[in-house]
């Protein structure tokens, strides 16, 4: 399921609990995947069987569908915040561009709740 870090490509992981959701994601993302095929590999994950893979990618187990971009070369993960946005070709394409432009910082190991609490304490 994982590609070798030597490939130099980042991985876009999409976690979903049903095969229908995963198939729909593949169909919708095909144009985005073609645009970024030199730099990204898109992977779908059965969230029921491999939910434990979500945690090291900055995702919250049980909150699916979910998406995260991983740069295996640098060990960085960029979880997509789907709490206020749908996972669509447009939002994923914009998210990838935001990562490239440095607008999105790599996941720091804290959950959304921990980050919100830290912000509230300021």
Q: What are the b/e assignments for 50-89, b being 16+ CB within 10 Å? A: ebebbeebbbeeeebbbbbbbbbeeeebbbbeeeeeebee
Q: What structural domains and CATH numbers belong to the chain?
A: 7-121 (3.40.30.10)
Q: What is the pTM of this model?
A: 0.83
At 4-44, the pLDDT tens digits run: 445 689 999 999 999 999 999 999 999 999 999 999 999 99
pLDDT in tens, 62-120: 999 999 999 998 999 999 998 889 999 999 999 999 999 999 999 988 765 555 555 45
Q: Give CA angle at 108 (58, 41), nearest 5°.
A: 50
């Amino acid at each position: 399921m994982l590609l070798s870090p030597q490939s130099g490509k980042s991985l876009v992981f999409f976690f979903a609990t049903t095969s229908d959701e995963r198939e729909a994601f593949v169909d919708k993302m095909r144009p985005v995947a073609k645009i970024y095929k030199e730099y990204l590999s898109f992977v779908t994950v059965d969230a029921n069987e491999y939910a434990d893979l979500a945690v090291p990618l900055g995702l919250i187990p049980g909150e699916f569908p979910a998406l995260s971009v991983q740069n295996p070369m640098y060990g960085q993960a960029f979880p997509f915040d789907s709490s206020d946005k749908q996972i669509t070709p447009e939002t994923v394409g914009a998210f990838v561009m935001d990562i490239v432009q440095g607008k999105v910082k790599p996941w720091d190991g804290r959950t959304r709740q921990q980050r919100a609490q830290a912000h509230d304490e300021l």
